[in-house]
Structure 1
Amino acid sequence: MKLFLLSCIITLSFAQDINPRKFPPNFLLGVANAATQIEGGWNEDGKSESIWDHFAHNFPEKIADKSNADIACDSYHKYKEDVALIKAMGLNHYRLSIAWTRVLPTGRTDNVNEAGVQYYKNVFKELRDNGIIPMVTLYHWDLPQILQEEMGGFMNESIADLFGDYARFCFETFGEDAKWWVTINEPKQVCQVGYGAGRYAPGIKSNGVGDYVCAKNLLLAHARAWHIYDEEFREKNQGKVAIVVDGSWAEPGSDNEADKAASERALHFGVGLYGNPVFNGDWPELVKQRVAERSKLEGFSESRLPAFTDEQIKYINGTSDYLALNHYSTMMASDSEAPIGQPSFDNDISARSWAKPEWTPTSQWWFYDLPWGLRKFLNWLKNTYNNPEIVITENGYVDNDDTLEDDRRIHYLRGYLSACLDAIYEDKVNLIGYTAWSIMDDWEWTGGYSSFLGMYKIDFKDPDIPRIKRKSAGYFTTIAHNRCLIDLDKCIE
């Protein structure tokens, strides 16, 4: 009897942690993926090589299982099957990306690949015919390799005009198909990991220098695309354009002021570096001061963080119609003053990132199921950026276990969606949509095919590359149908 009572108490306690409110009537629920990770057909029908094609082909040792995305989920041929899954789940929207290399193989608008254009036209028609809203990302890391070789990619300030031309082409070509646009996905990963640490394509190692140059050029590229839409397409197409910011919540490691300051540094370097210029104008002040001080001590004649001109600050400020957020987990942040020496993005932050021993680990060192971190993050964004409309454009559970009985993924989704409801109803955060990553397993960049995030399992060893339903797909379908996280008869309007 005591065991039974204890079981009941635990069950009730868990249930009470889940918000019983229904999602607002117009709240968007959807799933996401990206071209490189699912399409395959890497050189088919005129598509050119991207920096990630080049990276995986030439440096397989940098990929966990030495794989590549040549075939991936074969969505280039199986997109109708993918759309059917989304339709069957009853979801509102699908976040996908256009491969720059598939529509403009040279990266420039004087060489249009009609086969690539038709592919995306077909995808958009399939979505439209099934009542699914496309949320379209212009750049999900797949820069044409030729632009990297000819001009250095995002290290060259002329990338802003080239990206603007590409964006205009997409707005002209697909403007009737899509109203929700994302310019660039996760700029921190593009710049700090791709052009600083060198772990991601294009593999440039210029830590604490090149990553900041990339950040400035990338923000100018984003702003160029936003202004093109605003001036040339908004009146006709009535869409919205945003840039994605991504990050883990940085919880102060203690109540002392040094750890609280470390938490703020981690957030402003990780998120504010891209969010602040767009929503408030200019780099975050503490980022500017800190990089300038450390640069001087390191013997630089000027800050490693390139300054914006007054004109550029004005040009970038206000260039996001909503805040697109990718968030997966939370880490603790403690002050850890780094010695002066080699330039380093992490040393500029000087915050030790760590996990509490009681947190349940997964297959990824940085990943923990802590939904309270999302709620805190949403409130920080609300307060820091003047309560913008927020769409969560990625959130999901990662593991190296490809089981179909993925109860841990269900637990994660339930908790994080409950945190969303808490933020909406208790904290008055202007959150209008949630996008789960992912509809299906995919090629996870340097994780290859060894990390699983899909609500549908992909059997990559089967030549037919079947989509196999996991338990979480059924759970998410029920959420979409009921618009609630608990039994329908117990939901609160």
Structure 2
Amino acid sequence: MILKLCIVLIALLASSYATRKLPENFMLGAASAAYQIEGAWNEDGRGPCIWDSYTEEKGLDNGYVAADSYHKWQDDVRNAKLLGLNFYRFSISWSRILPNGTINFINQKGVDYYTNLIKALKAEGIEPIITLYYWDLPQYLQLLGGFLNSRLVEYFEDYVRLCFELYGEYVKYWLTINEPFTICYDGYGSGGNAPGLQQIGDGVYQCAHTVLKMHARAYRVYDEEFRDRFNGQVGLVINSEWREPKSNSSLDLEAQERALQFSVGMYANPVFVGNWPQVMIDRIGNRSAQEGFTRSRLPPFTEDEIAYINGTHDFFALNTYGHYMVEYQDDEPISYPSYDFDRSVKTYNNLIPSGFMLRKKLNYLQERYNPKAILITENGYRTDDILNDADRIKVLKDFLGNILDAVEEDNINVIGYSVWSLIDNFEWGSYKAKFGLIRVDFDDVDRKRTWKDSGYWYQNLTSTRILDD
């Protein structure tokens, strides 16, 4: 009898450790982006954007049809409802409502598309979380200089004010700009993303300077003109994979901190602390002087600009996928200007999904920036084109388990989690990478949707709120 009781107790204890309950107010959602799913690139008045031009120029796959969500948005809302999502994060295509990016012509059909989508989500009890800019700059504004033109701040102000006015009564969470590091490094440094410019020495920093002022302007517009009416929250979506030092040597730890400050710190420091990280100011300034420049390649902020940008956050919006290994390396000799030389860290480009590394990152963000809350706006795992995506389920469990550890043991206020992505989509030049909970058949003219195993698993998670370890 005693033996049986012991077995029962052991079984009960094992069961309690095998399942974990999500906090009741912890939001579960899924994400997408306009250019990656909507298609209808030249329909109903939408203007061209930089990804239309870039994919044509490079001969890449494009988002002309994508998942055809412009026509199948009701299917996407239906699937979001069946998944049991608390929220759905999507973006507004700037050129769908302002075809050339400026306020002189408002495209009513584009306005109506997002109105219908937002109202349908609200009717199903799903909170819309809207990204105002997700990489698809109107081509007309790129011809004016894009993110290298500081007047983009004013064009963005007009655009976001319109969005706040149109949709503010329905939207409680606004994301101003998605992944500024990717916008600036890949778009204006390496040339690997639209608009494909290779200005690694100064374009990256000029872009970042403009992005931060754009974000701050959007935040201030909402804060001063709309917060009292709509009581929403606004944040900047910052992406940075965790950098793990190769060893615990002081030099490798220095390299880790430098790598983080030249990525997440480049955008978080001005918003949460004030001004560029000091290590960036010092290193870029010193190398610029040695390179023969009369001033730093890092554009300075005025004191007024520092104060204007600082504090423009209601939460920390984080996109996170994996981590890199980094180690110290000696500075490169002075030659041509380069962000990579300014940073000077050896990086092993093996992006590895790890929930434990995510927990480290959450602790780092809490310690450095002390945000009011953290909202994980993207996290996911790439697979092949399969329905039995057990690997994705395993990775998502790992991430969510470590997020719960951060909440329960480290007292970090993570308020929600958004899996990337709701459906398979156009992954910036290719359709090979599959991130969706729901498969899209891109060979089918109807873009048929089929649930994957991970979709059913996520549906169970949203229903039971229990994470099975």
Distance 1:388 1:303 in 2: 33
Distance 2:82 2:265 in 1: 38
Match in the other structure for 1:152: 145
Q: Report the 3-state secondary structure (helix = DSSP H, G, I; strand = E; otherwise coil) of the residue aligned with 2:20.
A: coil
Match in the other structure for 2:423: 440
Match in the other structure for 1:117: 111
Distance 2:16 2:454 in 1: 20
Q: Report the 3-state secondary structure (helix = DSSP H, G, I; strand = E; otherwise coil) of the residue aligned with 2:450.
A: strand
Q: CA deviation at 1:318?
A: 0.4
Tell me which of 381, 384, 387 is aligned to 2:368. Answer: 384
Q: Report the 3-state secondary structure (helix = DSSP H, G, I; strand = E; otherwise coil) of the residue aligned with 1:485.
A: strand
Q: Give the fraction of aligned pairs with identical amino acids, expressed as a percent.
A: 46
Match in the other structure for 1:6: none
Alignment map for 1:373-412 (pairs within 5 Å): 373-399=357-383, 401-412=384-395
Q: Report the 3-state secondary structure (helix = DSSP H, G, I; strand = E; otherwise coil) of the residue aligned with 2:401.
A: helix
Q: Does 1:26 align with 2:25?
A: yes
Match in the other structure for 2:38: 39
Distance 1:223 1:153 in 2: 17
345-354 or 161-170: which moved more? 345-354
CA RMSD, Structure 1 to Structure 2 (Å)? 1.5
Distance 1:31 1:409 in 2: 14
Preserved contact between residue 135 and residue 178 of structure 1 (Cα < 8 Å): yes
Tell me which of 288, 295, 317 is aligned to 2:288. Answer: 295
Tell me which of 118, 121, 130 is aligned to 1:136. Answer: 130
Q: Report the 3-state secondary structure (helix = DSSP H, G, I; strand = E; otherwise coil) of the residue aligned with 1:173.
A: helix
Gaps of 5+ in 2: 1-10
Which letter maps to 2:463?
A: H
| Residues 329-352 of structure 1 deviation map (CA, whole Å, 9 limit, x = unaligned) | 011110122412221112211111
Q: Does 1:422 align with 2:422?
A: no
Preserved contact between residue 262 and residue 351 of structure 1 (Cα < 8 Å): yes
Q: Report the 3-state secondary structure (helix = DSSP H, G, I; strand = E; otherwise coil) of the residue aligned with 2:467.
A: coil
Distance 1:196 1:391 in 2: 28
Tell me which of 345, 355, 358 is aligned to 1:351. Answer: 345
Which letter maps to 2:222?
A: Y
Preserved contact between residue 456 and residue 470 of structure 1 (Cα < 8 Å): yes
| Residues 200-229 of structure 1 deviation map (CA, whole Å, 9 limit, x = unaligned) | 101111102011001011100110110000
Q: CA deviation at 1:482?
A: 1.4
Distance 1:237 1:272 in 2: 30
Which letter maps to 1:409?
A: R
Which letter maps to 1:147?
A: L
Match in the other structure for 2:351: 367
Tell me which of 90, 93, 96 is aligned to 1:99. Answer: 93
Distance 2:317 2:434 in 1: 23
Q: Does 1:222 align with 2:222?
A: no
Tell me which of 182, 188, 192 is aligned to 2:185. Answer: 192
Preserved contact between residue 213 and residue 309 of structure 2 (Cα < 8 Å): yes
Q: CA deviation at 1:367?
A: 2.9
Match in the other structure for 1:52: 51
| Residues 291-343 of structure 1 deviation map (CA, whole Å, 9 limit, x = unaligned) | 11121222222111111000000000000111000000011110122412221
Q: Report the 3-state secondary structure (helix = DSSP H, G, I; strand = E; otherwise coil) of the residue aligned with 1:46.
A: coil
TM-score by length of 1: 0.90
Distance 2:64 2:234 in 1: 30
Distance 2:126 2:18 in 1: 27
Preserved contact between residue 376 and residue 418 of structure 2 (Cα < 8 Å): yes
Change (3 A) 1:20 1:280: farther
Distance 2:192 2:244 in 1: 26
Match in the other structure for 1:238: 231
Distance 1:82 1:223 in 2: 32
Q: CA deviation at 1:179?
A: 1.2
Q: CA deviation at 1:195?
A: 1.1
Which letter maps to 1:119?
A: Y
Q: Report the 3-state secondary structure (helix = DSSP H, G, I; strand = E; otherwise coil) of the residue aligned with 1:440.
A: coil
Distance 1:215 1:473 in 2: 36
Q: Report the 3-state secondary structure (helix = DSSP H, G, I; strand = E; otherwise coil) of the residue aligned with 1:333.
A: strand
Distance 1:74 1:252 in 2: 43
Q: Report the 3-state secondary structure (helix = DSSP H, G, I; strand = E; otherwise coil) of the residue aligned with 1:110.
A: coil
Distance 1:145 1:255 in 2: 47
Distance 1:268 1:80 in 2: 42
Distance 2:299 2:410 in 1: 36
Q: Report the 3-state secondary structure (helix = DSSP H, G, I; strand = E; otherwise coil) of the residue aligned with 1:76.
A: helix
Q: CA deviation at 1:427?
A: 0.5
Match in the other structure for 1:8: none
Distance 2:203 2:353 in 1: 33
Q: CA deviation at 1:16?
A: 10
Gaps of 5+ in 1: 1-11, 61-65, 355-364, 488-493
Q: Report the 3-state secondary structure (helix = DSSP H, G, I; strand = E; otherwise coil) of the residue aligned with 1:444.
A: coil
Distance 1:305 1:147 in 2: 23
Q: Report the 3-state secondary structure (helix = DSSP H, G, I; strand = E; otherwise coil) of the residue aligned with 1:324.
A: strand
Q: CA deviation at 1:144?
A: 0.3
Which letter maps to 2:47?
A: S
Preserved contact between residue 196 and residue 204 of structure 1 (Cα < 8 Å): yes
Which letter maps to 1:247?
A: S
Distance 1:192 1:248 in 2: 14
Change (3 A) 1:16 1:314: farther
Q: Report the 3-state secondary structure (helix = DSSP H, G, I; strand = E; otherwise coil) of the residue aligned with 2:330.
A: coil
Distance 1:292 1:94 in 2: 42
Alignment map for 1:72-83 (pairs within 5 Å): 72-83=66-77
Preserved contact between residue 201 and residue 338 of structure 2 (Cα < 8 Å): yes
Distance 1:89 1:156 in 2: 42
Q: Does 1:467 align with 2:449?
A: yes
Which letter maps to 1:125?
A: K
Q: Report the 3-state secondary structure (helix = DSSP H, G, I; strand = E; otherwise coil) of the residue aligned with 2:216.
A: helix
Distance 2:266 2:390 in 1: 36
Preserved contact between residue 19 and residue 421 of structure 1 (Cα < 8 Å): no
Q: CA deviation at 1:440?
A: 1.0
Q: Report the 3-state secondary structure (helix = DSSP H, G, I; strand = E; otherwise coil) of the residue aligned with 2:238.
A: strand
Q: Report the 3-state secondary structure (helix = DSSP H, G, I; strand = E; otherwise coil) of the residue aligned with 2:356.
A: helix
Preserved contact between residue 19 and residue 422 of structure 1 (Cα < 8 Å): no
Q: CA deviation at 1:466?
A: 0.6
